[in-house]
A and B are shown apart, each in its own frame.
Chain A
């Protein structure tokens, strides 16, 4: 945090300490001046202004240059309104839902970074690869022209594009792939949002054009053999319970190894149970809501018994020990469980749905969803888009940089020990990436809590049925559409408190994790 203290230059040494301090302050502030002036005017002033307004009844329809009377101080009333109303919590839940995508996106970035940090040069074999890719490209071009741009031409075009990417990748190496991966992120903005809006169009969008044949097959299979999706659904359920067991086992191992303090283990433990609770609370289709809690309780009991009977090999240093690591595991396991839960629910309900739809005499048994017009699909749709943009985001670049910093000797030592790739990753790469992971999670949480405004504004107007309204879009609705700026400020400051405490929390525990 600090630049090294330097010995004072000889001329300054003769001056008194106070004088030196004043001089240092003057110089420091001079350098700061251009920036701090701007920040003070364009950031600090509005921040203070909105803080004051959060405690007032400022309403553009009531208080403006054409009306007499100033906003009144109303104490905490805006905040009380916020907490007693149901909208804030609904939109907060939306925001949290979107934030579940963060671990997945970060994981994707990490995978991409690992792939991109591999040595892709093909040594002496490069000409072969050239030849391969080139010939495929040429053949596909020829076929493309020959087929007279019919509908098969599209497939050829896609193959040609893939080959072109391969060819460019072989010639351009990592630079090319890196640019390609990074492209969705840096062009993200209104332009790509409009693009995805068109991609998601229900009847004319290419997403559904790709999904429809799949759904047709699924519908056909389900109709002829209703047991298949049910079996798959149970498989998902089993996987879910296994994943829960893995997460819990991981925590147990950490505990036994002395890496996890009692206080630090509490929150991760709670997180692991959330999907099961939600499965029990929500009506996710008959058997699921009974089996999942039962299975999970059984696993939990087994693991807890094992934990109680196990010998602690190493003593735990502090109650907060190992929090960061455990939290990351728990988050991953939780999001994984949610995904599996979703798939299981869909698969288990599929047979009934297809049956009903066949009974109703519909042409297509399973209709492709209106991604942005159906409240059940709007959130996942936006998350998929976010994932597309996030894989190659700054996070990937950060991971890439961190990976190049991992000392090669560590891997050499591991190779001598005969470690498997998985072991190499968990024991060397992952701990070495901890600082980057920490930074990324802090920034993603801040971004996630504040995010979603532009997507909602450009793509969905917060709909359908409020499904994509996040807190930041809520601020927009209140502040700009109904003019209640006092209330909007209160929402913003509530959000600020959330962001601030999460960041502080991350900082306090995360730093420990980084230093582990």
Chain B
């Protein structure tokens, strides 16, 4: 966007410049440089402001993404970053297996490698999900490191040795007796964390297929979402519904908008006003009558029952009508003189010109239906028909409140919207430009 053309040799200005004296050229270069410098420094505050606003707006998402990588016990910590943690889920175990570990714990013993191996051997078909880490932490609940005999014959990994060194260093350095309050809590917490890390790490060395190593970022939260709920199905359903509604809405609304904006027929404006006023009644009260309609049509608990009511709205017609009004009338007149039918005028003349409008409507409709919450909540019975917003509630309801998994699910549910927007955003701004604002 530089106002001075680049000296690429072909420019006539450069040709002229060549005729100038060396001094003039230097002066010109100076001027050019000054202008660039001014432009450079001038753009800094703007960039900084935009970055500051953008950063603030982005913060909640940053927290969301980082939280989705944390283990459950680190949620709510002041530190947003996930830190190294021994608490890792380790699949499912049968009641019998769980009872065995419990029996050892109850007896006050620490499970040995031999015991754990036996435990693994008896592990049969999984019945109920249980957190191994919880059990093992309970097993070593007195916060002591596993005794050496527990990992006899196991080659300690480098990590385990590092953790062991930390534990030993802690043991060698007793807590000052005058420490109290938060400082004491911190010191104690530090110690028990070191012990937990060591234990988990050793268990991982001994039983690598069962006990995962302590990790920092837990990407498997994302997999866990898919394991706990049929997330892929919700995803498909949501996308499917949003795409269908968008397609139908764009198509039928453009037809209706064409009729309202480009055709003359008696009573047209009155019908249009009626259309408009239906937008002002809160949708909630229409739910019950609509539900009855769905029962009559036999569409309760089907995806079609979600698609149909969304596909025909006054809003889309209103929006597209505004666009089509701003297309010069001479265009379809010309088409008509050429003998084109109304359909051809619509299809070949108006639709291509209204493209930005169609894209705008498509984005709005897609967003609205992808996020739509209450109608699906009322309508759907079977879990295989659930959409994302309904599915997300699973992690925030009586069935469970696992914030890390919830955030992982939310992160994943947001992705398609960002893709849709990035792909279409140029069209969007250009599209609104054409009309919509004019009453």
Contacts and interface: CB of A to CB of B under 8 A. Distances in A.
B19 interface: no
A157 B80 contact: yes
Interface in B247-292: 251-253, 255-256, 258-269, 271, 274-275, 277-290
B81 A149 contact: yes
Interface in A116-165: 116, 118-126, 128-129, 149, 151, 153-154, 157-158, 161-162, 165
Contacts of B313: 39, 43
B55 A397 contact: no
Given A189-B371, A404-B433, A50 B256 contact: no
A199 B393 contact: no
Interface string B393-428: 100100000010011001001100110011001101
Nearest to A49: B289
Nearest to B262: A3
A169 B51 contact: yes
Interface string A30-62: 011011111101111111011000000000000
A457 B39 contact: no
Contacts of A38: 252, 308-309, 311-312
B284 A43 contact: no
Given A27-B265, A31-B259, A123-B36, A178 B47 contact: no
Contacts of A450: 282-283
B320 to A, nearest CB: 10
Contact of A27 (B79, B284, B342): B342
Interface stretch (A238-246, A372-380, A484-492): A484-492
Contact of A161 (B55, B289, B413): B55
**Residue from B58, B60, B332 with most neighbouring chain A CB atoms (10 Å):** B60
Interface stretch (B62-70, B169-177, B206-214, B221-229): B62-70
Contacts of B253: 35
A394 B32 CA distance: 40
Given A1-B269, A35-B256, A125-B36, A453 B374 contact: yes
A125 B43 contact: yes
Contacts of A47: 278, 281, 286
Contact of B266 (A21, A42, A43): A21
B252 A43 contact: no
Contact of A196 (B60, B282, B288): B60
Contacts of A177: 50, 54
B107 interface: no
Given A44-B278, A46-B286, A435-B438, A179 B389 contact: no
A2 B251 CA distance: 22
Nearest to B279: A446
A395 to B, nearest CB: 11
Interface string A153-187: 11001100110011001100001011111111011
Interface in A277-323: none
A430 interface: no
B281 A27 contact: no
A349 interface: no
Interface string A457-486: 110000000000001100110011000010
A115 interface: yes
Given A169-B51, A435-B438, A457-B374, A194 B392 contact: yes
A47 B77 CA distance: 49
A391 interface: yes
Contacts of B271: 32, 36
Contact of B284 (A28, A123, A181, A476): A476
**Residue from B50, B267, B311 with most neighbouring chain A CB atoms (10 Å):** B50
A503 interface: yes
Contacts of B266: 21, 24-25
Instruction: Name the prevailing secondary structure of the B interface residues.
Output: helix
Interface residues of B, number: 122
A352 B288 CA distance: 52
Interface string B352-384: 000000000001100100110110000000000
Interface string A363-392: 000000000000000000000000010011
B116 interface: no
Contacts of A181: 53-54, 57
A121 B278 contact: no
Contacts of A118: 46
Interface in A67-99: none
Contacts of A496: 280-282
A154 B80 contact: yes
B103 interface: no
B418 A187 contact: yes
Instruction: Name the prevailing secondary structure of the A interface residues.
Output: helix
A206 B329 contact: no
Contacts of A446: 279-280
A398 interface: yes
Nearest to A405: B433
Interface in A185-241: 186-192, 194-199, 201, 203-206, 209
B74 to A, nearest CB: 10
Nearest to A515: B439
Nearest to B413: A191
B78 A151 contact: yes
A34 B312 CA distance: 8
B285 A492 contact: yes
A37 B275 CA distance: 12
A187 B414 contact: yes
Contacts of A112: 53
B115 interface: no
A500 interface: yes
Nearest to A438: B439
A4 B271 CA distance: 19
Contacts of A175: 425-426
B126 interface: no
A45 B297 CA distance: 14
A503 B266 CA distance: 26
A48 B342 CA distance: 33
A68 B235 CA distance: 43
Contacts of A122: 39-40, 43, 47
Contact of B432 (A194, A205, A401, A480): A401
A291 B389 CA distance: 50
**Residue from B54, B64, B370 with most neighbouring chain A CB atoms (10 Å):** B54
A419 interface: no
B50 A116 contact: yes
Nearest to A212: B78
A37 B373 CA distance: 24
A177 B49 CA distance: 11
Nearest to A23: B265
A189 B255 contact: no
Nearest to B434: A401
Given A25-B266, A31-B256, A394-B364, 4 more contacts: A35-B256, A124-B33, A169-B50, A183-B61
5 contacts: A32-B260, A50-B289, A191-B392, A446-B279, A492-B284
Interface of A: 1, 3-6, 9, 21, 24-25, 27-29, 31-32, 34-39, 41-47, 49-50, 112, 115-116, 118-126, 128-129, 149, 151, 153-154, 157-158, 161-162, 165-166, 169-170, 175, 177-184, 186-192, 194-199, 201, 203-206, 209, 388, 391-392, 394, 397-398, 400-402, 404-405, 435-436, 438-439, 446, 450, 453-454, 457-458, 471-472, 475-476, 479-480, 485, 488-489, 492-493, 495-496, 499-500, 503, 507, 511, 514
